[in-house]
A and B are shown apart, each in its own frame.
Chain A
Amino acid sequence: LRATRCPTSFIGAEQKEEAKAERVSSDCLPPTFSVSEIKNKQRRHLILLLESHIFSVFVFQQKMQLKKKKKKEREALGDKAPPKEVPKTIENQRVYDETTVDPEDEEVAFDEGTDEFSAYFNGLTNPKVLITTSDRPRGTVRFCEQLATVIPNAHVYYRRGLALKRIIPQCVARNFTYLMVINEDRKVPNGMVLCHLPDGPTAHFKMSSVRLRKEMKRRGKDPTEHSPEVILNNFTTRLGHSIGRLLAALFPQDPQFVGRQVATFHNQRDFIFFRFHRYIFKNEKKVGIQELGPRFTLKLRSLQKGTFDSKFGEYEWVLKRHEMDACRRKFQL
């Protein structure tokens, strides 16, 4: 099988010549022959594959040559060379959101001083979390137990078909600050309702890629009882800010640095990644981290003002797929 001519549709003129030059050495069939005339599908396919491979190798070589040339030019110019072009990423191209929070914004600071979390952030209340599942949990109980080790002062209760609206007053009576309901589908957790209790906001997340502790590679020993530190990354907009505060208030205000544990909520393109690590400072410039604990990603679906009330609640924000997912460079959190 020899490559005859390239299919001429998708290459430019000079490249065609080059390609022809490559093939001069190989003995060709009569020049009026084209690949599409081979009746045998498998042979035709093989030849096309070969040609496309040759073509792609050729293109790659051209690219490398171009790169080398550019590098030489840059070195030749020395200091006068134009600054290196920054590659475009989605984060670079993100549509500017007008609700992005300025660090010095007074209005935001005032709001945060008087919202539902102000009690927590002023150190008045200690978080106490109740974790439960949907009806008849099959696979999520283990996940809930692992979560309870990660979040200090968390209790797991078995859901015996109780209505959430009846659970909430009882929780408030027992001084719980958070109610976390893990919804499951076919033994896999897929949703989370996080309700701040003394009539605080309720957030509904979609949960995905849940990894339990035993599925982690190179993981450390089990987390200890020390309260971990919290890292919140990339919560820039106003909505992101409130979600960040919601998540941060799960953990006690003063972390115990002795435990060297850190829980991270990292927001990237509207996905919140949760990780739990143990860190150790090797020296001033290097730190080693080791992942313990479960990991999952959350995507916010709705944020509601009061406690959980799906029918009559007042929604602050709802994910509307058609509007919000239409633009690929626009993110909400």
Chain B
Amino acid sequence: MFVISSLCFLQVIWDIIGNQQFCSFKVKTKSQSFCRNEYNLTGLCNRSSCPLANSQYATIREEKGQCFLYMKVIERAAFPSKMWEKVKLSKNYEKALEQIDENLIYWPRFIRHKCKQRFTKITQYLIRMRKLVLKRQRKLVPLSRKVEQREKRKEEKALIAAQLDNAIEKELLERLKQGTYGDIYNFPVHAFDKALEQQDEESESESEEEEEEEDEEEEEEDVGKREFVAEEEVEESDLSDFEDMNKLRTSSDEEEEDEEESSEEEEEEEEEMEVEMKASKSKGKSPANGSVVRKKRAYVEIEYEQETEPTSKSRTTS
């Protein structure tokens, strides 16, 4: 009798595909070969793990989150369409393990063990997938390069059209004019304009003499003396509260104040005044308070001598 051992042909198959000739599911790397067959239990290309070279074989596969146990027995080797028996495993982990055990009872230890391992791994990755879905997912939004370039160009042009510095400066000056800053900045509008006017007049009429209002304090006046009447009034009434008077302080104002204070000899006064005037005029600064007069006034260089000691020039302003 010619008995063909059932396992002989399997051995032949393995000889062909495993070692010597070609297997289409085999992936060879430097250290190891893998099996890409979907029914493979371990994923490696071994004699015991090859589903083609083993007549009795079992695997776990999952479909859409459901795990199934696939079994192949030699009795059905002749019917390829019915070869794999599919058993749905329960969702409970322990129950599924029991199911595997009862289905694969009396099967080789290797297959049973590997099936359980594979099932464990599959359930673990399914759990992880479900957890990830609940967490925040990063959505990648593709940028169109053309659109981005267009937007960039538009932005550049808009920036040029905006003229930001000018706009900001204008807005700040507007706010200053409207008085949102209150009294912090002492650019009092009217006095300043008047000062401007006065300066124009002065520069035009340098040779003219202007008389002071406070004649009662002085009997003699110098010819070259210049006094600005309007400024006095404004200064005394409006600006007494401000700290730095430097913007509106002119030589004449100082003179007047000193004149008011010092009620001594008029000659002395005169000389003082002259001194003051000339000193301040020549330097363009008011030496007493040491602050800068912003506007450069037309000045006249006059030689002077100090005969008397100038009195203390304390200022009346606060």
Bound-state Cα–Cα, A289 to B167, Å: 11
CB-defined contacts of A262 to chain B, threshold 8 Å: 168, 172
* Contact among A229, A268, A283, A284 with B162 in the assembled complex (CB-CB below 8 Å): A268
Distance (Å) between the CB of A279 and the closest chain B CB?
A: 6
Residues of A near B138 (CB, < 8 A) are 135
Binary interface encoding of chain B residues 277-302 relative to chain A, with 1 for a CB under 8 A from any of its CBs, else 0: 00000000000000000100000000
Task: Give B294's nearest chain A residue, CB to CB.
Answer: A283
> Contact check: which of A271, A281, A284 meets B189 at CB < 8 Å?
A284
Contacts of B164 in A (CB 8 A): 264, 266, 273, 275
CB of A90 closer than 8 Å to a CB of B? yes
Q: How many residues of A contact B (CB 8 A)?
A: 32
Give the shortest distance, in Å, between B242 (CB) and chain A (any CB). 14
Q: Please, which residues of chain B bring their CB within 8 A of the CB of A266?
A: 162, 164, 167-168
CA distance A84 to B162 in the complex (A): 23
Question: Across the interface, which residues of A come within 8 angstroms of B109, CB to CB?
Answer: none
Asked if A95 CB lies within 8 Å of chain B CBs, one says no
Q: What residue of chain B has the Cβ atom nearest to residue A279's Cβ?
A: B172
User: CB distance B158 to A271 under 8 Å?
Assistant: yes
B151 CB–A CB distance under 8 Å: yes
| Chain A contact residues, CB within 8 Å of chain B | 89-91, 135, 163, 208-209, 229, 231, 233, 257-258, 262, 264, 266, 268-271, 273, 275, 277, 279, 281, 283-285, 287, 289, 297, 299, 321
A299–B181 touching, CB < 8 Å: no
- A289–B171 alpha-carbon span in the complex (Å): 12
- Chain B residues in the interface with A (C-beta under 8 A): 136, 138, 147, 151-152, 154-155, 157-159, 161-162, 164-165, 167-169, 171-173, 175-176, 181-182, 184-185, 187, 189, 192, 294
The residue in chain A whose Cβ has the minimal distance to the Cβ of B169 is A287
Whether the pair B147, A321 counts as a contact (CB closer than 8 A) is yes
Asked if A163 and B154 make an inter-chain contact with CB atoms under 8 angstroms apart, the answer reads no
A262 to chain B, nearest CB (A): 7
| Cα separation A82 to B167 with both chains bound (whole Å) | 30
Contacting residues, chain A, for B155 (C-beta < 8 A): 208-209, 271, 297, 299
- Docked CA distance A119–B222 (Å): 67
CB–CB A285/B173 < 8 A: yes
Q: How far is the CA of A329 from the CA of B136 in the complex (A)?
A: 39
Closest to A232 in B: B171
Q: List 26 A-B contacts (CB under 8 A).
A: A135-B138, A208-B151, A208-B152, A209-B155, A257-B181, A258-B184, A264-B167, A266-B168, A268-B159, A269-B154, A269-B158, A269-B161, A271-B154, A271-B155, A271-B159, A273-B158, A273-B162, A279-B172, A281-B187, A284-B187, A284-B192, A285-B173, A287-B172, A287-B173, A297-B155, A299-B151
